[in-house]
Structure 1
Amino acid sequence: MLLTGIRRSEYESSKVVKENIVSVSDDVEMILSDESDGYLTRSLEAKKATDTRLAAVAVGTSGHGGLGKLSIRGSTSYRGVTDFGLSAVARCCPSLKALSLWNVPRVGDEGLSEIANECHLLEKLDLCQCSSITNKGLTAIAEHCPNLTALSIESCPKIGNEGLQAIGKLCLKLQSISIKDCPLVGDNGVSSLFSPEHSILSKVKLQGLNITDFSLAVIGHYGKSVTNLMLGGLRNVSEKGFWVMGNAKGLQKLVSLMITSCLGVTDVSLEAMAKGCSNLKQMSLRRCCFVSDHGLLAFAKFAGCVLGSSFVLPCSSLKSLSIRNCTGFGTSSLAMVGKLCPQLQHVDLSGLYGITDAGLLPLLESCVAGLVKVNLSDCLNLTDEVVLALARLHGGTLELLNLDGCRRITDASLVAVADNCVFLGDLDVSRLPECRKSIPFLKRLGKTLLGLNLQHCNSISGTVELLVESLWRCDILF
C-alpha cells in the first residue's frame, strides 16, 4: 500500500525503494498475464477486480516496465475497484497504453484524472457502464493524452458534449470513435470530432444517441478519412440527414456502411448515399422499415456507376450485401442487384420473408465471383429450387450456408448440398419440418464441416451416433 503512493519517477533514483519494488515484483509475478504486442497485459473480472489486487498488479509490474494494457470488467459493489486502485496503476505504470473499464461504478473522475496525469502514452480508452465518470474525467484525458487513437464510450450517463469537444480539439491522432447509449451526447459533441483541418477519423460508430440531421451533415462534409461507418438507433435523424450525408460527397473513402433501426433511411436517402460513396464495398441494412425494392435498385445502380440514362456499368467493388429484417424488400429488385453486382461473395437476406425463388435465382446466376457465405434464414417462401441452384452454381466456393427456418426446404436440398458443396464448413438446417431423412446425406460433408446446427429438427431421422462419428471435427448443436 505504501509503494502504491509513490510515483515511479520518484523512486527511479532511490536504490532502497527500487530494491523493494523488485522484491515485491518477484512475489506477485504469478498474477501476471502473458505479454501482448510487446507489453504486459492484465485482465481483472468480477470478484478478482479489487483495489488490493489492482495495487499488487501495479507494484508487481512496475519492476518489469509496468503494465501496457489493463482491462477491468465488472467489480463487486462492496469491495470492487475504486479511484484508489486506478490511481495505483497510474503512479506505478506510466507506460500504460490501453485501458478498458466495464461496469465499475465506483471509479470516477479522480481515478481517470490520475491515469491522464501519469499515463501520457495512453492510446486506447474503453469506458462502458461507468456511471461516476463525467466530462471532467474525459477532459483530463484529452488534455494529457495526446497519443489517443481509439475511444469507446457506452452507457456512461454523465458523459456529454463537453468531454467530446475536448477530445475533438486536443486529441488530433484520434482514428476510431464509438459512442453508444449516452443520453447527454448530442450534435455539439459529435460534430466537434470532425474538423476540416485535422480530422483523421477512419472508424465511426454512433448508436442510440440524441443527435439530429446536423451531425450526419457534418459527417458527410468532413468525414473525408472515414472508411467504416456504423449508425444505429438514431431516432431523431430524418430522411434529410441521410440525404445530405450522401450528397455532401465527403465520404469518398467509405468502404463499409452499416445502418440499423434508423427510420430516416428511405429509398431517397439510400440512393443519395450510393451516389456519394463511390468506393463502398460493404453495405448492411437492418430493421430499416421504409426502404423498399426501389431503394435497393437505385442503390445498386448508382453503386455501379450510372452512365447516361440507360447504360449501367456493373459494380466491381461491392462484395458483401446484408439486408436483414427489412420488410419493405421483396422479389422484384434482387435480379437487378445480381446483374449490377456480379462480384458479390457474401449475401445475407435473413428475415426477408417476401422474397421468392423467382427473385433470388437471377441473383445466384449473376454472381460470377462465386458465393462464399449465404444466409437465407427465415426466408419462408424459398423452396428447394433455390438451394439446388445454389449448390450447382456455387458448390465449389460455398463455405457457409444458413437455411434456418426455411420451412419449405426438403431433403432434396440437403442431398444437393452434400453432393456439390465440397468446401462447406458451416451449415445451419434448424427448424426444417420437411427434412426427414437427412443424416445419411450429411455424413458426406464429414471432411470439411466444422459447424452443424440441427436445433428443433424433430422430424429428422437416422443414426445420430453414426453422424457424430462421421463428423468428429464438427461442433454439432442438436
Structure 2
Amino acid sequence: MPTLVNYSGYDELYTGGSFCANPIELGRLCNIGSSVYYTPNKRARTSASDIIEVGGREQDQKPAIDVLPDECLFEILRRVGSGKERSSCACVSKQWLMLTSSMCKAEIYKSDKVVEGSTSCDVEMASVDEDHVEDDGCLTRCLEGKKATDVRLAAIAVGTSARGGLGKLSIRGTNSVRGVTDAGLSAVAHGCPSLRSLSLWNVSSIGDQGLSEIAKGCHMLEKLDICQASSISNKSLIAIAKGCPNLTTLNIESCPKIGNEGLQAIARSCPKLQCISIKDCPLVGDHGVSSLLSSANNLSRVKLHDLNITDFSLAVIGHYGKAIVNLVLCGLQNVSERGFWVMGVAQGLHKLMSLTVTSCRGVTDASIEAMGKGCINLKQMFLRRCCFVSDNGLVAFSKAARSLESLQLEECNSITQFGIIGALSSFKTTLKSLTLLRCKGIKDIDVEVSMLSPCDSLRHLSIHNCPGIGNSSLAMVGKLCPQLQHVDLTGLYGVTDAGLLPLLENSEAGLVKVNLAGCWNLTDNIVSELARLHGRTLEMLNLDGCRKITDASLVAIADNCLLLNDLDVSKCAITDAGVAVLSSARQLTLQVLSLSNCSGVTNKSAPSLTKLGQTLVGLNLQNCNSIGCITVELLVENLWRCDILA
C-alpha cells in the first residue's frame, strides 16, 4: 500500500481530461466515500468500453445537455443574459438556433440581481439601454433565391436583436429544396418586434400561419408588400389589421386568395393607411376597394391594376378621395365612360397632383374633359394606350386643366398633330414638359402656326419612336415652343438637318440637354450649328446611332462647347483624329464619354484617352474591336478614378 500511495506515476499521467466524456457516467463509476480515493487524472486501468457496455451493446455517447428535452433547453437558453450571448448560443447547433429563435421577447428571463457596487438606478438604466438597442429597428436584410431558407431567417431573427433590431425584411423567391415556410416567418415574428417593413415576393410556401405570427409579434409594422403569394388569404390580412394598427403602406399583387373581406378588415382597423396598391387579384371587387377609400382619411397614393371593379369604385374615389395626391388606374376593363366622368365631376379630388390612366376603355373625350375640370390642382397627366381619346378630348382637357405642368401620351393613336398643336396653344404658361411615346397617329401636316399663341412655359420635349413625325412637325414645335432647354428626339429616323434647324434657331433660352439617338439622317452640318448656337449652354449631347456623324462634329464641339460634360458618339464614324481633337480642347471638361461600336477608334487613341481621363469618371469602349486588351488594361491602370466599360 505505501508503495502504491507514494507512486508518482508521471509516465502514466493522462492530461486529456476524464476518460469518460459524460460526467453522468463518470459519477456511476466513481462513488466517492470515506474508504475509497480516486484520482481522475490517472489513465484508466480498465477499458471504458467494458464498463459502459449495457446488455452486451455499446451505447452512443452524447453531451449531457443534448439529452435534455427541448422544454428544458428552452428554459436554459431563455435565461442567457444578453442578446449577444444568445446569438453565440444559437451558433452551437441547428437545434439551439431554432429554440432560441422561437423565443418571444416576453419569454426572455430578466434577472433582478444587483451587481455589488451598483445602485438600483444603474441597473434600471442598463435595462433601458438594452431595450432601446433591441427595438431600434435600424437593420435591413434581403434574402433572394437559394439564400431564402428557414435557418437563415432564424439566424437573422436571433442575430439582429443585439445589433439594433431588424427594421426591414425582404424575401424574394425561395430555395426549391429548403424554402422559406411559416416556421421561418414565425422566427422573425418572435425575435424581431421592431420590424417595420416586410416584403414577400414569389413565396408560395408561406401561408396564413406565418403572416398571422407576424401580426402577433410585430405590432410596429408599417409597410407590407405581398406579391405572387398563392397561399396567403384574407385570414392573413384580418390578422394584420388586428395586430398592426400603424400600417401605412399595403401592396398586394397576384394573390388569388385575397379578396374583399381582407381589405374591409384593413379599412376598419388601420386608420393611418396612406398608400395602397392592388394588382391582379381576381377576388377583389367594389366592396373591398370602396371600403378602403371611404374609410382611410389619410390615403394619399392609390394604384388599382387589373381588378374586377366597376363604375361604383371610381365614383367612391371621386367623392371620398379628398387626400389622394397620386392616382394610378390600369387595365380596368369593367369601368365605362360614366365611371371616369363621375370621378371627375364629383369634385372630391382637389388635392390630386398626378394621374396615370393605362389601357382603360372608359377614358374618352367626355370623361377626360370632366377629369380636367374636377382635378383643379392636377400637375401631371399620363395617358397610356387610351385609344378612345382624340384631338377634341385632348384640347378640351388642356383648356380645363389650368395647373398642368407635365403631359405624357403613350400609344394614344387617335391623337394627331392638330391635337398636339391645340394643346400646346391652350396651355400657354403652365405646361413645362411634353412627352410623346409611340404615337402613330401623329404625322407631318403643313399647318400655319403663326396665328396660334406660343407655349412659353415648355422646357422639356421628348419624342420617342413616333415614325410619322418629320421635318414639318419639328419646325412647328420650334415655333410654338421658344423656351426649350431639354430636347429628346430618340428614334426619329425621318428627321433631317432641315427639320431640326428651325427648332435650334427658335430656341431662345439655350439648349442644355439634347438627345438625338437613332436619328440616322442627321449630318455634321446640324451638329456644327447646334454647337455654334448653343455651345455656351449645352451640357449633354447624345448622337448614338447617327451614322453620318464624323470627326468634323467633334471639331465643332471642341471649339464651341464650354460646359459639355456628357458626350455619346456610339456607332458614329469617329476615328482617332476626332478623339485627339477632343483631348486637345482646353476648355472641354468631359466627365462621361461613350465611343461604343466606333470601329475607327484604335490603339492609337490611348494617349488621347489618357489625357481626357484627367476629368472623366465614365468611359464606354464596348465593341471597339480595334482597341486591344493590352491598351484597355493600361487605361484601367492609369485612369483609376474612371469607370471603364470594355
> How far does residue 151 in structure 1 lie from its aligned partner after superposition?
4.4
> How far does residue 262 in structure 1 lie from its aligned partner after superposition?
4.2
Residue 226 of structure 1 pairs with residue 349 of structure 2: no
Structure 1 equivalent of residue 420 of structure 2: 296
For the structure 1 residues 441 and 138, does the alpha-carbon distance in structure 2 shift closer, same or farther, using more than 3 Å as the test? farther
- Deviations along 1:135-180, one digit per CA (max 9) or x if unpaired, are 6545655666555444445555552434544543444333334455
| Correspondent of 2:406 among 274, 277, 282 | 282
Alpha-carbon distance in 2 for matches of 1:199, 1:336: 40
> How far does residue 302 in structure 1 lie from its aligned partner after superposition?
1.6
Q: Helix, strand or coil: the match of 1:204?
A: strand
> How far does residue 50 in structure 1 lie from its aligned partner after superposition?
1.7
Q: Helix, strand or coil: the match of 2:580?
A: helix
Structure 2 equivalent of residue 194 of structure 1: 317
- Deviations along 1:307-348, one digit per CA (max 9) or x if unpaired, are xx95626343x4323221233433334344344444433222
> How far does residue 381 in structure 1 lie from its aligned partner after superposition?
3.2
Is the CA contact (8 Å cut-off) linking 1:409 and 1:435 kept in structure 2? Answer: no
Residue 176 of structure 1 pairs with residue 301 of structure 2: yes
Residue 366 of structure 1 pairs with residue 526 of structure 2: no
| Correspondent of 2:606 among 461, 465, 469 | 465
Higher-Rg structure is: 2
Alpha-carbon distance in 2 for matches of 1:371, 1:262: 32
TM-score in terms of structure 2 length = 0.60
| Correspondent of 1:256 among 380, 383, 389 | 380
For the structure 1 residues 344 and 465, does the alpha-carbon distance in structure 2 shift closer, same or farther, using more than 3 Å as the test? same
Which letter maps to 2:420? L
For the structure 1 residues 185 and 151, does the alpha-carbon distance in structure 2 shift closer, same or farther, using more than 3 Å as the test? farther
For the structure 1 residues 167 and 277, does the alpha-carbon distance in structure 2 shift closer, same or farther, using more than 3 Å as the test? same
> Which range moves more in the overlay, 445-454 or 424-433?
445-454
Structure 1 equivalent of residue 488 of structure 2: 348
Q: Helix, strand or coil: the match of 1:278?
A: coil
For the structure 1 residues 50 and 428, does the alpha-carbon distance in structure 2 shift closer, same or farther, using more than 3 Å as the test? same
For the structure 1 residues 359 and 112, does the alpha-carbon distance in structure 2 shift closer, same or farther, using more than 3 Å as the test? farther
Residue 66 of structure 1 pairs with residue 165 of structure 2: yes
Q: How does 1:70-81 map to 2 (within 5 A)?
A: 70-81=169-180
Alpha-carbon distance in 2 for matches of 1:451, 1:211: 49
Aligned sequence identity (%): 47
> How far does residue 476 in structure 1 lie from its aligned partner after superposition?
1.6
> How far does residue 369 in structure 1 lie from its aligned partner after superposition?
3.3
| Correspondent of 1:451 among 592, 598, 601 | 592
Is the CA contact (8 Å cut-off) linking 2:592 and 2:619 kept in structure 1? Answer: yes
Alpha-carbon distance in 2 for matches of 1:241, 1:92: 56
Is the CA contact (8 Å cut-off) linking 2:311 and 2:335 kept in structure 1? Answer: no
Is the CA contact (8 Å cut-off) linking 1:266 and 1:291 kept in structure 2? Answer: yes
Alpha-carbon distance in 1 for matches of 2:247, 2:455: 41
Is the CA contact (8 Å cut-off) linking 2:146 and 2:176 kept in structure 1? Answer: no
For the structure 1 residues 372 and 73, does the alpha-carbon distance in structure 2 shift closer, same or farther, using more than 3 Å as the test? farther
Q: Helix, strand or coil: the match of 1:194?
A: helix
Which letter maps to 1:100? S
Q: State the Cα RMSD in Å.
A: 4.1
Is the CA contact (8 Å cut-off) linking 1:152 and 1:178 kept in structure 2? Answer: no
> Which range moves more in the overlay, 216-225 or 462-471?
216-225
For the structure 1 residues 211 and 40, does the alpha-carbon distance in structure 2 shift closer, same or farther, using more than 3 Å as the test? farther
For the structure 1 residues 170 and 277, does the alpha-carbon distance in structure 2 shift closer, same or farther, using more than 3 Å as the test? same
- Deviations along 1:59-97, one digit per CA (max 9) or x if unpaired, are 333455632222222322332323333333334334333
Alpha-carbon distance in 1 for matches of 2:291, 2:254: 19
- Deviations along 1:228-280, one digit per CA (max 9) or x if unpaired, are 33444x16455447634654x23333333344444345433432342333333
For the structure 1 residues 85 and 146, does the alpha-carbon distance in structure 2 shift closer, same or farther, using more than 3 Å as the test? same
For the structure 1 residues 165 and 68, does the alpha-carbon distance in structure 2 shift closer, same or farther, using more than 3 Å as the test? farther
For the structure 1 residues 425 and 259, does the alpha-carbon distance in structure 2 shift closer, same or farther, using more than 3 Å as the test? farther
Structure 2 equivalent of residue 412 of structure 1: 552
Alpha-carbon distance in 2 for matches of 1:330, 1:246: 32
- Deviations along 1:208-241, one digit per CA (max 9) or x if unpaired, are 5646455654664544323333444x16455447
- Deviations along 1:357-400, one digit per CA (max 9) or x if unpaired, are 34333333333333332222122333334322322233233232
Structure 2: unaligned runs, 5 residues or longer: 1-97, 113-125, 258-280, 431-449, 623-646
Larger RCO (CA within 8 A; separation ≥ 6): 1
Q: Helix, strand or coil: the match of 1:312?
A: coil
Structure 2 equivalent of residue 476 of structure 1: 620
Which letter maps to 2:510? G
Which letter maps to 1:201? I
Is the CA contact (8 Å cut-off) linking 2:315 and 2:343 kept in structure 1? Answer: no
Residue 397 of structure 1 pairs with residue 520 of structure 2: no
Structure 1: unaligned runs, 5 residues or longer: none
Q: How does 1:81-160 map to 2 (within 5 A)?
A: 81-116=180-215, 118-134=217-233, 137=236, 141=240, 145=244, 147-156=246-255, 159-160=281-282
Is the CA contact (8 Å cut-off) linking 1:164 and 1:192 kept in structure 2? Answer: no
Alpha-carbon distance in 2 for matches of 1:213, 1:357: 45
TM-score in terms of structure 1 length = 0.79
Alpha-carbon distance in 1 for matches of 2:517, 2:300: 35
Q: Helix, strand or coil: the match of 1:15?
A: coil
> How far does residue 416 in structure 1 lie from its aligned partner after superposition?
2.0
Alpha-carbon distance in 2 for matches of 1:275, 1:120: 49
Is the CA contact (8 Å cut-off) linking 1:142 and 1:171 kept in structure 2? Answer: no
Is the CA contact (8 Å cut-off) linking 1:408 and 1:432 kept in structure 2? Answer: yes
Structure 2 equivalent of residue 243 of structure 1: 368
